[in-house]
Amino acid sequence: MTTPIAVGLSAVIVAADGNGPYALETRHGNATGLPHGQFDPERHRTFELGLRDWVRAQTGFEPGYVEQLYTFGDRGRELPQANLGDAARDARLISVGYLGLTPVRTDISAFDAVWRDWYRHFPWEDHRKGRPDIIDEAIGPALATWADLGGKNAADRLSRAQLAFGLDGRPWIEERTLERYELLYEAGLAPEAPRDRGKDKRGVSLPPATMGEPMISDHRRILATAIGRLRGKIKYRPVVFELMPERFTLLDLQKVVEALLGLSLHKQNFRRSLDRSGLVEGLGAFNQASGGRPAELFRFRREALREGHVLGVQTPRG
Amino acid sequence: MTTPIAVGLSAVIVAADGNGPYALETRHGNATGLPHGQFDPERHRTFELGLRDWVRAQTGFEPGYVEQLYTFGDRGRELPQANLGDAARDARLISVGYLGLTPVRTDISAFDAVWRDWYRHFPWEDHRKGRPDIIDEAIGPALATWADLGGKNAADRLSRAQLAFGLDGRPWIEERTLERYELLYEAGLAPEAPRDRGKDKRGVSLPPATMGEPMISDHRRILATAIGRLRGKIKYRPVVFELMPERFTLLDLQKVVEALLGLSLHKQNFRRSLDRSGLVEGLGAFNQASGGRPAELFRFRREALREGHVLGVQTPRG
DNA sequence: CCATATTATACTCACATTGAGCATAATTCG
DNA sequence: CGAATTATGCTCAATGTGAGTATAATATGG
């Protein structure tokens, strides 16, 4: 008989606030993973319904906005793991990743799940307080070494590394999250890379701590895909508002956008562009909370979706 | 035993010239479909390699640039078809769509395959010579009727139709190809919709010819996804050049972009934006061909990819 | 109660980008 | 040679964007 195929569904459920962007993770021993499970053709009419079932079962959480990310099918990147049932043992595992957004970090204490800052897994992705030192001090040199080992691909490898990480004066492009992760994986710098391969193509080694926490199976790859997609999408669709509470100040919104992009933005220009976009509406009410002058509360104008000029938020770097 | 899962791989292979955008199609009786076949976990290390095998086998064609589009898994949208082998008969079929781009329409006469203008399947998508009449004369009214039948969803249906097709003064957004197709399908206006469902949720009917040629299985849906993706991507990545020959005039390039977008562009501004982009380089040589003043030949500056400012082409409507 | 810190919000200004169109150049065709 | 045809250059107003400066409204510490 031929090798059966099993389809794994994994979800990156994102929430965010002024402190950071969070993903919902489940515990597996001392590692973590994403909520996931196997697609059951008999129970589930669509992938999305199956996914929702698994997320609910494992975290007690009901996702709102959900979209498909990517389907990974390469051999050797996924080890069948917990939660996938017996059928998956000897099957070829295919992995369909989803992105979900939610405004609140619901209480999930009854489950073996946690909300965790996604930059734990990708410390080089957070530029809110400037470019992280590890890029130029550790990652850059390690990738240069790896490039040198590339024989006739050396130039190509170097160029890819420079573009992905904004080395040697090139710009940092925040959406290239997956590209960066894949590069580190390929160079053997991601802790999970040698593990999956079995071979020792690494060539380069680094204190693993600086390379971010790994996750089970191919989940870190799915998380990288989700971050990149969300960072891009935020600019041309008003998806940030799926992450916001009903009423918020413009600074709240800015902090969330900054958390997602891993960048800091120019406050006045950010607010000006929102003004013009027609995406938000002032409520006349004010927030007392913070130190200085009270900030006006805003809400997302859902009507904007009906008006066609449905763009995302501008992201003027500051 | 549980229902086995079969993974079908389908490819939208695109070529384009001044006359139109073409997709590579295979014949199945009097209908057509995309090159496709079943993913075999034993033979194929990755989806992409499997896909390339199938395309080569069915069309003799070797695709260059390839990217994954989307994975469809809903029950009822796919009927197992030719080329999927026995295993697929009683399996749940999952469909992974790919987009491939190629500069030349290679000779495929030895195979049962043809290059066909994709607007045959989506006549409402071609606005190069102005907004097609069928939109306001046939599709709009039919969707309005469908909306009216929606009970408490009526307003929502109407709004979706207006936004998707740019009805009642709303702008036409060319990337929304899939949204438009799905809406027609949902409204029962796509000829394949009632066929798949078995039920008669149609409610509305139209002379099928105006709704474009259907394709086997869910292939028209995959084609719609490909068109929408390509139309979007062209603007932020220099992918058009995958469709161009080595040397081309700026008008050649403009015609290809127009063919893909289904729009006509402002010539002077298109050329100005290309100038500034640094994506192309004049060769000093000239094209004699056409009626008037000879046009300079250009080539794509592949170096631009290494320089980081990797944007697509601007598309100034004219 | 005032000076100071803190946050919010308004406004300016130079500069780049974009939409729209006019003007000129280099061909072919009759 | 004149008209038609296509290519290419250039202008101009309007709009958008980056980078600030200025002012407003609150809290807090002396």
Which is more confidently placed, A256 or A313? A256
In A34-148, which ranges are E strands?
36-38, 65-72, 92-101, 113-117
Extract the tokens encoding A242.
């799926």
Buried b (16+ CB within 10 A) or exposed e, B219-229: bbbbbbbbbbb
CATH number, domain with residue A272: 1.10.10.10
| Residues B94, B72 contacting (CB under 8 angstroms) | yes
| Chain A contact for B96 (CB, 8 A cutoff) | yes
Q: Cα separation of A81 and A140, whole Å? A: 33
Whether B140 has a pLDDT exceeding 80, the answer reads yes
Q: Do A207 and A246 have their domain in common?
A: no
Least confident span in A77-81, A110-114, A160-164, B229-233: A77-81
> Running DSSP on this structure, what letter comes out for residue A107?
-
Residue B119 to residues A13, B41, B137, B211, B218, Cα–Cα distance (Å): 38, 35, 18, 11, 17
Domain assignment present for residue B144? The answer is yes
- Which of chain C's bases lie under 7 Å from a protein CB? 5-12, 17-22, 25-29
- List the single best residue of A1, A2, A5 to mutate versus B (max B Cβ within 10 A): A5
Q: Do B111 and B221 have their domain in common?
A: yes
Label residue A29 exposed, middle or buried (CB < 10 Å: 0-12, 13-18, 19+). exposed
Domain assignment present for residue B22? The answer is yes
Q: Cα separation of A128 and A263, whole Å? A: 4
Average confidence score pLDDT of chain B: 89
Extract the tokens encoding A42.
């008999």
Q: Do A99 and A19 have their domain in common?
A: yes
Query: Could you say which of A233, A268, A298 is where a domain stops?
Result: A233
A41 closest CA partner among A97, A94, A82, A98: A94
Least confident span in A160-169, B74-83, B208-217: B74-83
pLDDT in tens, A289-311: 677 899 999 999 999 888 765 56
Q: Do B13 and B30 have their domain in common?
A: yes
Domain assignment present for residue B227? The answer is yes
Residue A186 to residues A198, A265, B44, Cα–Cα distance (Å): 13, 32, 20
Domain count for chain A, please give it: 3
Share of chain A above pLDDT 70, in %: 89
Whether A70 has a pLDDT exceeding 50, the answer reads yes
Could you tell me which residues are beta bridge partners of residue A24? A115
Q: Which residues contact A129 (CB under 8 A, 6 or more apart)?
A: A264
Sign of CA dihedral B67, B72, B78, B80: positive
Least confident span in A8-12, A302-306, B86-90: B86-90
pLDDT in tens, A73-129: 988 776 555 455 555 567 889 999 999 999 977 777 777 889 999 999 999 999 999
Domain assignment present for residue B99? The answer is yes
Residue A124, classed as helix, strand or coil, is helix
Domain assignment present for residue B315? The answer is no
Q: Do B152 and B288 have their domain in common?
A: no
Residue B136, classed as helix, strand or coil, is helix
Chain centroid to CA A89: 28
Q: What is the mean pLDDT of residues B269-275?
A: 94
Could you tell me which residues are beta bridge partners of residue B9? B37, B96
Distance B246 CA to C29 C1' (A): 31
Q: Which residues contact B2 (CB under 8 A, 6 or more apart)?
A: A40, A41, A42, A87
Q: Cα separation of A112 and B121, whole Å? A: 49
Extract the tokens encoding B199.
């039920």
Domain assignment present for residue B114? The answer is yes
Whether B106 has a pLDDT exceeding 70, the answer reads yes
- Split at pLDDT 50, 70, 90, the class of B83 is low
- Split at pLDDT 50, 70, 90, the class of B75 is confident
Whether B197 has a pLDDT exceeding 60, the answer reads no
Rg over alpha carbons for chain A, rounded to the nearest Å, is: 21
Q: Cα separation of B55 and B10, whole Å? A: 9
- List the single best residue of B42, B48, B94, B305 to mutate versus A (max A Cβ within 10 A): B94
Rounded to the nearest angstrom, the minimum Cα separation between A296 and chain B is 31
- Split at pLDDT 50, 70, 90, the class of B291 is confident
Q: Cα separation of B13 and A91, whole Å? A: 30
Label residue A71 exposed, middle or buried (CB < 10 Å: 0-12, 13-18, 19+). buried
Q: Do A84 and A224 have their domain in common?
A: yes
Q: Which pLDDT value is given to residue A242?
A: 95
Q: What is the mean pLDDT of residues B63-85?
A: 78
> Running DSSP on this structure, what letter comes out for residue A137?
I
Q: Do A153 and A289 have their domain in common?
A: no
Least confident span in A29-43, B76-90, B290-304: B76-90
Whether B112 has a pLDDT exceeding 90, the answer reads no
Q: Which pLDDT value is given to residue A72?
A: 96
Q: Which pLDDT value is given to residue A12?
A: 98
Average confidence score pLDDT of chain A: 88
| Residues A149, A161 contacting (CB under 8 angstroms) | no
Label residue A46 exposed, middle or buried (CB < 10 Å: 0-12, 13-18, 19+). middle
Rounded to the nearest angstrom, the minimum Cα separation between B248 and chain A is 27
Q: Which pLDDT value is given to residue B317?
A: 78
Sign of CA dihedral B76, B77, B79, B80: negative
Q: Do B260 and B221 have their domain in common?
A: no
Within 8 A of A170 by CB-CB distance, chain B residues are 308
| Chain B contact for A46 (CB, 8 A cutoff) | yes
Q: Do B161 and B269 have their domain in common?
A: no
Q: What is the mean pLDDT of residues A58-73?
A: 93
Q: Which pLDDT value is given to residue B105?
A: 73
Residues whose beta carbon sits under 7 Å from strand C: A 249-251, 267-268, 271-272, 286, 290-296; B 266, 268-269, 272-273, 276, 286, 288, 291-294, 314, 316-318
- Split at pLDDT 50, 70, 90, the class of B87 is low
- Split at pLDDT 50, 70, 90, the class of B207 is low
Whether B20 has a pLDDT exceeding 90, the answer reads yes
Least confident span in A88-97, A212-221, B83-92, B186-195: B83-92
Extract the tokens encoding A229.
């997609």
Minimum Cα–Cα distance from B5: chain A residue: A5
Q: Which pLDDT value is given to residue A202?
A: 47
Q: Do A70 and A205 have their domain in common?
A: no
Q: Do A68 and A204 have their domain in common?
A: no
Domain assignment present for residue B258? The answer is yes
Domain assignment present for residue B48? The answer is yes
Whether A57 has a pLDDT exceeding 60, the answer reads yes
Q: What is the mean pLDDT of residues A264-276?
A: 94
Buried b (16+ CB within 10 A) or exposed e, A96-111: bbbbbbbbeeeebeeb
Q: Cα separation of A256 and A243, whole Å? A: 8
Q: Do A220 and A163 have their domain in common?
A: no
Provide the H-helix boundaries in chain B: 47-59, 133-134, 140-148, 154-165, 177-186, 192-197, 219-233, 250-261, 267-277, 303-306
Residues whose beta carbon sits under 7 Å from strand D: A 266, 268-269, 272-273, 276, 286, 288, 291-294, 314, 316-318; B 249-251, 267-268, 271-272, 286, 290-296
CATH number, domain with residue B55: 3.90.79.10
Query: Could you say which of A233, A263, A282 is where a domain stops?
Result: A233
Q: What is the mean pLDDT of residues A125-149?
A: 96
Q: Taking the complete model, does pTM exceed 0.85, yes or no?
A: yes
| Domain that includes residue B278, residue range | 246-306
Least confident span in A24-28, A246-250, B283-287: B283-287
Share of chain A above pLDDT 90, in %: 72
Q: Which pLDDT value is given to residue A187?
A: 94
